[in-house]
Chains A and B, each alone.
Chain A
Amino acid sequence: MSDANFLTLENLTLAYGDTVAVKDLNLTIGKGELVAFLGPSGCGKTTTMRAIAGLLSPASGHVKLDGADITRVSANKRNVGLMFQSYALFPHLSVYENVAFGLRLKKTPAAELDKRVKAGITSVGLTDYADRKPGELSGGQQQRVALARSMVMEPKVLLLDEPLSNLDARLRLDMRSELQRVQKETGVTMIFVTHDQGEALSLADRIVVMKRGAIEQIGSPEDIYNRPTSAFVADFVGFENIFELSDGRLKTPKGPVELSGPVPIAAGLAWRPRMVTLGSGPFQGTVRGASFAGNSREYLLDTPLGPIKAEVDAALPSHELGAELAFDLPVGAAAQLRTFG
């Protein structure tokens, strides 16, 4: 085992009764990596996490961690931490006892237990709240308790299921940096689930985009953001003008369209609204909608290629609804999609 394949999921198929939720999934995660699972609701993110934690046993396939096959190891012996979206704190226990729970089960000597629990509580900034019950804490504080409770166990992997989705915008940013700090300081391998591409892009070393129970693309935040390989991922990360290619021409609702310049071999091409050149080019469109977004203006154009979204600097003169504009879809800027669908 090397650090590069610290956690391996091999041909993992997960099912609830007859419903297959995750199909034949393969993934390798390195030690100390921070990985984000990104995907729409119901694509199997939680299910995959639960299988790694041992709360769900796979229909087939293997989970390997730190050199051992743990597929059949029960959840309470894996030392995998999981932070639940709902925090799942024990309501009858104080913050201190919540954090101490796992260490007490491990029969940690009293002095060491006290030291570790206090350090854990301090590290999440809750020193003054040690004697409170979870019900007496705010959502953000409860989340910190949950983080401390997982981290004192020094888990091999820490899984976080939508750790930020229950927090307001401000706390979300705080908690983001908190997670990053904890991960840096401890070097724990972390996987977190999110719906929010911004969160995944800013936090993760690597992003796993999932779709209907399978991995659609794995890559660095730059890869995912700039070089989506499928129409699904392109759409997910904000490429709003996506076309299938056939015989070097764009497939549009109104028939094939020739592009200017040499066209790469790909299944499709995608442009962010910002990549569309407005004011010059071989195509013509009519402005159907315009919206102001601070630094930029967005236009919706009716064109022979179908609707096109373009975004330009707000400092440029604006266009009226109904105006006829020339535009171009520069081939060089487009993301090249390997699969379409």
Chain B
Amino acid sequence: MMARNLFIPITLGLVITFLIGPFLIIVAASFSAGETLAFPPQGFSLRWIAKVFTVESFRDSFYMSMFLAIGGTLVALILGIPASYALSRYKLPGAETIRTIVSAPIIVPGIIVGLSLLRYIVVPFQVGITLALFLAHTALILPYAVRVVSASLGNLRSDIEEAAVLLGSSRLGAFFRVVLPNIRGGIMSAFILGFVTSFNQVPVSLFLSGPGVRTLPVDMIAYMEIVFDPSVAALSALLAFMSIGIVFIAERFLGFSRYV
């Protein structure tokens, strides 16, 4: 009985330590006054946080990452929502095969995806790096979009569409009037998941970078190889707070945790 009572708090404590611990260390390190990335921080200053905003390559790669995350997620949703709808509503021949193909980018290690894109698409077809990155990110997000949207479609009875049609709506109208509003939460969850996945993506993006074209995480790695100062910690902390902010806003206005 005693052992059981202790099991849950101890597990919880460990999980929190290992999940939140590193994050707290990064946050603490970013307020350091010292010259190198170190823990515990030496002194207190905001200079490294200020420095993040002055590094030009960070700014460019941040825009690139934002563009890929938002644009890629939008395109993935535009492709993924109709695909999920078709997969869940019609008995398509080979539906399982389609599902597997769509899910492949989750299962195949990122390094392999990146390398093969570079070796078999970018180099032979002379595809621009930006376009290649965009396609790669869209393909990576698509499985999440299809998964999450399918799950939320699965919870929705299909007879409401017929009800809408009998009340005078067209089939397409019924999709927009009664299907989309009811999977709103799923779409929002897919968007957040897609955004975060894309933004934190390293292995694929690593292969697809060229002069002046880099995603933020790749740029951070490159920076750290040259300069080992706390500005990388500061940037990581800022990004983490940005993610928390997005989830918080989504939760606040859409109650998104209900749908995940």
Say yes or no: A76 contacts B165, CB within 8 Å: yes
Q: Does A283 contact B (CB under 8 A)?
A: no
Known contacts A88-B160, A88-B162, A101 near B167 by CB under 8 Å: yes
**How near does chain A come to B255, taking the closest CB pair, in angstroms?**
13
Q: Does B100 contact A (CB under 8 A)?
A: no
Identity of the chain B residue whose Cβ is nearest the Cβ of A50 in the assembled complex = B162
Say yes or no: B182 contacts A88, CB within 8 Å: no
- Provide the B162-205 mask, 1 if CB < 8 A to any CB of A, else 0: 11111111100100011001101000000000000000000000
Q: Does B56 contact A (CB under 8 A)?
A: no
Within 8 A of B (CB), among A61-92: 75-78, 80-82, 84, 86, 88-92
Q: How large is the interface on B (under 10, 10 to 19, 20 to 34, 35 or more residues)?
A: 10 to 19
A contact residues, total (Cβ < 8 Å): 23
Q: Does A102 contact B (CB under 8 A)?
A: yes
Q: Does A115 contact B (CB under 8 A)?
A: no
**How near does chain B come to A65, taking the closest CB pair, in angstroms?**
14
Instruction: Name B167's contact: one of A54, A55, A91, A149 (CB within 8 Å).
Output: A149
Q: Does B96 contact A (CB under 8 A)?
A: no
Identity of the chain A residue whose Cβ is nearest the Cβ of B171 in the assembled complex = A76
Contacts of B178 in A (CB 8 A): 90, 92
Say yes or no: B182 contacts A105, CB within 8 Å: no
Say yes or no: A80 contacts B157, CB within 8 Å: no
Contacts of A82 in B (CB 8 A): 162-163, 166
Contacts of A102 in B (CB 8 A): 167-168
Say yes or no: B169 contacts A76, CB within 8 Å: yes
- Provide the A216-250 mask, 1 if CB < 8 A to any CB of B, else 0: 00000000000000000000000000000000000
Say yes or no: A91 contacts B165, CB within 8 Å: no
Q: A88 to B173: give the CA distance in the assembly, Å.
A: 17
Identity of the chain A residue whose Cβ is nearest the Cβ of B181 in the assembled complex = A92
Identity of the chain B residue whose Cβ is nearest the Cβ of A53 in the assembled complex = B166
Contacts of B163 in A (CB 8 A): 82, 84, 88-90, 149
Say yes or no: A55 contacts B162, CB within 8 Å: yes
Known contacts A86-B159, A88-B160, A90-B160, A80 near B166 by CB under 8 Å: yes
Q: A25 to B164: give the CA distance in the assembly, Å.
A: 28
Contacts of B167 in A (CB 8 A): 76, 101-102, 105, 149, 153
Q: Does A106 contact B (CB under 8 A)?
A: yes
Q: A54 to B167: give the CA distance in the assembly, Å.
A: 12
Q: A54 to B156: give the CA distance in the assembly, Å.
A: 22
- Provide the B200-224 mask, 1 if CB < 8 A to any CB of A, else 0: 0000000000000000000000000
Instruction: Name A75's contact: one of B166, B173, B182, B184 (CB within 8 Å).
Output: B166
Contacts of B160 in A (CB 8 A): 88-91
Identity of the chain B residue whose Cβ is nearest the Cβ of A152 in the assembled complex = B167
Known contacts A88-B157, A90-B160, A90-B178, A105 near B165 by CB under 8 Å: no
Contacts of B164 in A (CB 8 A): 90, 101
Contacts of B157 in A (CB 8 A): 86, 88
Within 8 A of A (CB), among B129-176: 156-157, 159-160, 162-170, 173
**How near does chain B come to A154, taking the closest CB pair, in angstroms?**
12
Contacts of B173 in A (CB 8 A): 105
**How near does chain B come to A19, taking the closest CB pair, in angstroms?**
14
Contacts of B166 in A (CB 8 A): 53-55, 75-76, 78, 80-82
Q: Which 4 A-B pairs have the closest CB atoms?
A: A102-B167, A88-B163, A88-B159, A105-B168
Task: With A90-B182, A92-B178 given, name 11 new contacts (CB 8 A).
Answer: A76-B166, A76-B167, A77-B168, A80-B166, A84-B163, A88-B159, A90-B160, A91-B156, A91-B182, A105-B173, A149-B167
A-B contact list, 29 entries, CB within 8 Å: A55-B165, A55-B166, A75-B165, A75-B166, A76-B165, A76-B167, A76-B168, A78-B166, A82-B162, A82-B163, A84-B162, A84-B163, A86-B159, A88-B157, A88-B162, A90-B163, A90-B178, A90-B182, A92-B181, A102-B167, A102-B168, A105-B167, A105-B168, A105-B169, A105-B173, A149-B163, A149-B167, A153-B167, A153-B168
Residues of A within 8 A of B (CB): 53-55, 75-78, 80-82, 84, 86, 88-92, 101-102, 105-106, 149, 153
